[in-house]
Amino acid sequence: MSRTIIAVTVGALLLAACGGGAKPPTTTTAPAPLPAPTQATTTPPTTAAPTTTSGGPAVQAGVIPQTTGLDLRAAEALLEDAGFNDVATQDASGQGRTPLIRRNWTVCRSKPTAGSHAPTGQAVILDVVKVDEHCP
């Protein structure tokens, strides 16, 4: 009988040491919902004037600034100041390169051209070459 008591005691100690036994039930709660995103408000640029389309809402328009000869970083900043935030680049050499360091590229021309009126939501495409290259 003493062997049985010792075996039960040793078994109970091993079970307790291993963390065995009944565990209390765990409850999980759903995470709190995220707050709704807020929209930032922007003020329209002073160079833009609202225009209307037939029967449509007013569209913000602006004048494309002169960017030819500027480095790409300065040209993008000038366009953004004029209200044009959708600016894309195209390698004017035809090699298909992507400008990574903006100050190392020079603007050859823009589409739409400088001085033309365009909706500020319209994409402006800048044809660029590396600073040590000539525009085609």
Residue 70, domain CATH: 3.30.10.20
pLDDT tens, residue by residue, 46-95: 444 555 455 556 678 999 999 999 999 999 999 999 999 999 999 999 99
What b/e sequence results for 80-96 when a residue is b if at least 16 CB atoms lie within 10 Å of its CB, and e otherwise? eebbbeebebbbbbeee
Specify if 111 maps to a domain: yes
Is residue 103 assigned to a domain? yes
pLDDT at 4: 46
Query: Residue 43 domain-assigned?
Result: no
Asked, for residue 86, whether it belongs to a domain, the answer is: yes
DSSP structure class, residue 79 = H
Integer-rounded Cα Rg, in Å, for the chain is 34
> Rounded distance, CA 108 to CA 128, Å?
5
Residue 65 counted as domain residue: yes
pLDDT of residue 104: 97
pLDDT of residue 83: 96
pLDDT per residue over 35-49, tens digit each? 555 444 333 444 445
Counting the structural domains of the chain, the total is 1
CA distance 126 to 87: 7
- Spatial neighbors of 80 by CB under 8 A, at least 6 apart, are 87
What is the reported pTM? 0.59
Q: Specify if 120 maps to a domain.
A: yes
Domain that holds residue 64: 60-130
Residue 116, in any domain of the structure: yes
Q: Report the pLDDT value the prediction gives residue 60, as an integer from 0 to 100.
A: 87
Is 30 contained in some domain? no
What's the pLDDT score for residue 55? 56
